[in-house]
Amino acid sequence: MPVSRKIKYIKYCAAAAALMMLLPASSFAEVRIYLMSKIETEKTVITLGDIAAIDAQADAAKKIAAIVIPSAVYADLYCDRVELESLIKLSTDELCYIYGTAVRVYKKIAPTVEEIAEAAALETPCVKNGERVTVQVKKNGVTLEMTGNAAGDGRLDEEVPVRIRNAKILKGRVSGKNMIELVL
């Protein structure tokens, strides 16, 4: 390469370096977005940070992670790359590279208060060994109630032995807290 061309090239490189120093560093930052294969969430609002790992400078990563994904995007239970690219282009001027094809979005449904109470009732014994219980005998539409002592622990709908007044032990089904229904 002739000397005059080398000098022009050096001047060009110096000018480019000076120009780069004048521009903010974020103008040259690259953002890499790594999509997760699937997520499970109870959130009603999903952001890009929930479905992807973002590799960028802190301010750019924070800005991009906060992008809200409309529920229409994952109505088919998938956030695909094309949908996310268009959403990101609307939200930022950063140069973004997306790795992965789609994210499967599983929406967890929080249990209701009744379901939690029902599960707790099934877990804890309604009748404990040695406790006084109300014993019900039902036959032909007639209900007879008496007291007895449980001869074992039992949860809802489990069979437990119960001792009635004459010291006879019968099997009954737990029907509630300290309640046993005799099976005849």
Picking from 144, 147, 146, the residue whose alpha carbon sits closest to that of residue 132 is 147
Q: Read off the amino acid at residue 165.
A: R
Residue 178 is classified by DSSP as T
- Residues 93, 26: contact at Cβ < 8 Å? no
CA angle at residue 53 from 47 to 57, to 5 degrees? 95
Torsion sign, CA atoms 90, 96, 102, 104: negative
**Chain centroid to CA 156:** 30
The per-residue pLDDT string of the chain (184 residues; one tens digit each, 9 = 90 and over) reads 565 665 655 555 555 555 555 555 445 568 999 999 998 888 888 999 999 999 988 888 898 999 998 888 888 888 899 999 988 888 888 888 999 999 998 887 767 777 777 777 667 788 899 899 998 888 877 888 889 999 899 888 889 999 887 778 888 998 888 899 986 6
Q: Which domains are seen in the chain, by residue range?
A: 27-107 (2.60.480.10), 113-182 (2.30.30.760)
